[in-house]
């Protein structure tokens, strides 16, 4: 009986750790949002904003490979989506505003309370 309880308890811990919690999902989403903006910045040749985005990421995220991978994957997907959709580039000022909003969301999501 103790062995069965131990196995079920261990399995429960494994399953609960495999599913991202709502705060973790929110954090991943803001990283994806930054990757999405980075893809647009690269496509529209807003290289100053692409550098700004990377600096924001470096300065505000914990150094975790998984977060960097999410950012890179979303950057690539965003670049391809933007190219395929043949959308016009936003104005540089409007885009800079979007980056500022995303920066605030990222700082809030990763703030240490």
Predicted pLDDT of residue 36: 96
Note the pLDDT tens digit of each residue in 30-47: 999 999 999 999 999 999
What is d(CA 60, CA 107) in angstroms, rounded to the nearest whole number?
6
Predicted pLDDT of residue 30: 93
H helical segments located in 19-64:
22-43, 47-60
- Integer distance in angstroms from the first to the last C-alpha of the chain? 41
DSSP state of 61: S
Note the pLDDT tens digit of each residue in 4-20: 444 444 445 444 444 55
To the nearest whole number, what is the mean pLDDT of the chain?
Answer: 84
Q: Could you state, in order of their start, the residue ranges of all structural domains in the chain?
A: 23-109
- Quickly count: other Cβ atoms within 10 Å of residue 28's Cβ: 17
Predicted pLDDT of residue 2: 55
């Amino acid at each position: 009986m103790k062995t069965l309880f131990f196995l079920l308890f261990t399995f429960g811990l494994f399953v609960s750790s495999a599913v991202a919690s709502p705060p973790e999902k929110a954090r991943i989403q803001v990283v994806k949002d930054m990757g999405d903006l980075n893809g647009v910045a690269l496509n529209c040749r807003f290289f100053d904003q692409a550098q700004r985005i990377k600096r924001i990421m470096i300065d505000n995220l914990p150094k975790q490979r998984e977060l960097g991978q999410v950012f890179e994957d979303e950057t690539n997907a965003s670049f391809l989506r933007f190219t395929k959709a043949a959308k016009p580039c936003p104005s540089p000022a409007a885009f800079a505003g979007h980056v500022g909003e995303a920066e605030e969301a990222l700082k809030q999501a990763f703030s240490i309370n």
